Structure 1
Amino acid sequence: MGFLDIVFYGFVAVVIIQVIFHVFFFSKFAFAKKQKVSQKNIPVSVIICAKNEAENLKAFLPSVIAQYYPDFEIVLINDASKDDTLEVMEHFSKAHRNIKIVNVKSIEAFWGNKKYALTLGIKAATNDYLLFTDADCKPVSKQWIKKMSSHFSNKKSIVLGYGAYAKINKSFLNKLIRFETLVTAINYFSFAKLGMPYMGVGRNLAYTRKEFFNANGFINHIKIRSGDDDLFVNQMATVRNTAVCYTSGSFTKSTPKKTFDAWFKQKRRHVSTAKHYKLKHKVLLALLYASNLLFWILSILLLTTLYKWKIVLALFLTRIILQYTVMGLSSKKLKELDLIFFIPFLEIFLIVMQLTIFINNLVSKPNHWK
Structure 2
Amino acid sequence: MPQLSHTVPSSSARPRTRLFAGPPTVAQPVETGVDAGRLEPRVEEKDGYYVLKERFRQGINPQEKVKIEKEPMKLFMENGIEELAKLSMEEIDKEKSTKDDIDVRLKWLGLFHRRKNQYGRFMMRLKLPNGVTTSEQTRYLASVIRKYGKDGCADVTTRQNWQIRGVVLPDVPEILRGLAEVGLTSLQSGMDNVRNPVGNPLAGIDPDEIVDTRPYTNLLSQFITANSRGNPAFTNLPRKWNVCVVGSHDLYEHPHINDLAYMPAMKDGRFGFNLLVGGFFSPKRCAEAVPLDAWVSADGVLPACKAILEAYRDLGTRGNRQKTRMMWLIDELVSNHSSFSAPLTPFSKLITLITDLSDQIGNSV
- Compute the TM-score of the two structures, normalised by the length of structure 1: 0.31
- Compute the TM-score of the two structures, normalised by the length of structure 2: 0.31
**Which has the bigger relative contact order, CA under 8 A and spacing at least 6?**
1
